[in-house]
Amino acid sequence: MNWISADESFDCEARVYGLLFTVEKPANEKNFMEFLNKDSKKVYKNVRCHKDLLTGLKVLDKFQFERKGYFVVDKDSDIEKGKIVWNKIVDTQDNKTKK
């Protein structure tokens, strides 16, 4: 966790996607829908980002968030209104070795 003042930050949303299925080969199962991972998408509201990120920000821009991974600006974002949605695209090496 990093600390940032409210005056120097803005609210945004972060989406973190996991495995879609709870088994390795769902096609081999009788009813693959039974093996959907209900926790495959986690949405974090009220994530704080430094206001300097808004300068020149565009949809599909990519950033590394320290100790969290790599994120891309989602098409659901409304940059003009300051509504930013981040999608996690790659874990950091540290996070991969912890799992």
Higher-confidence residue: 53 or 29?
53
Residue 59 to residue 84: CA distance in whole angstroms: 9
pLDDT tens sequence across 14-38: 999 999 999 888 887 788 888 899 9
Q: Predicted confidence band at 66 (pLDDT cuts at 50, 70, 90)?
A: confident
What DSSP line would sit under 14-36, residue for residue? EEEE--SBSSS-GGGSS-GGGGB
Mean pLDDT in the chain?
89
What is the distance, to the nearest Å, from the Cα of residue 26 to the centroid of all Cα atoms in its chain? 25
Residue 80, SS3 per DSSP:
helix
Q: What is the mean pLDDT of residues 89-95?
A: 78
What is the distance, to the nearest Å, from the Cα of residue 35 to the centroid of all Cα atoms in its chain? 23
